[in-house]
Amino acid sequence: MQLVLVQHGQAVPKDQDPSRPLTDTGRRDADALASFLGRAEAVPPTVWHSGKPRARQTAETLSVGNAAAARDGLGPSDDVEPVAAELAERQSDLMIVGHQPFLGRLASRLLTGDPAGMTVAFEPGSAVGLDRTDEGWALAWMVRPGLFTRG
């Protein structure tokens, strides 16, 4: 199974808009990430997001014609254990678009068994690819916006 974890794109500050939609930069970064992942054939058929506008907008951009579905339990401060347990049983590839610190804790939990076991340097618009092997989860790749938007 392949899992792609994506931190939503850059969002408007809360004092400007409490719903925190994507900024123009956030939309451009999401478009660039979608293009990059599409060329790499790294967009799973199922995409989950937290339901917050910035995650939904990013997920809709990345889902490339697939349905992006809001899921409970993917908020910034949510416990990663229920999602980790579901992923242990899941057979099909998945993308989760969400927030820090949740994504970093989930990646750490999958890779080390401890949500605080390591730091995964997510930033807005970044993506991490994990593969589940017979031995457990393995880090396959990571990209940040600057890697595919420089030019």
d(CA 8, CA 127): 9
Average pLDDT over residues 87-96: 96
pLDDT confidence band for 67 (50 / 70 / 90): confident
pLDDT confidence band for 64 (50 / 70 / 90): confident
Average pLDDT over residues 78-97: 97
Average pLDDT over residues 36-51: 93
Give me the pLDDT at residue 141, please: 96
This prediction's pTM: 0.95
Give me the pLDDT at residue 149, please: 60
What is the tens place of the pLDDT at every residue in 5-38? 999 999 999 999 999 999 999 999 999 999 999 9
Residues 6+ apart with CB under 8 A from 38: 64
- pLDDT higher than 60, residue 114: yes
Nearest to 104 by CA among 56, 58, 142: 142
- For the chain, what is the mean pLDDT? 94
The neighbour count for residue 17, using CB atoms within 10 Å, is: 12
Domains of the chain, earliest start first: 2-149 (3.40.50.1240)
pLDDT confidence band for 65 (50 / 70 / 90): confident
Give me the pLDDT at residue 53, please: 98
| Residue 29 burial (10 A CB sphere; 0-12, 13-18, 19+) | buried
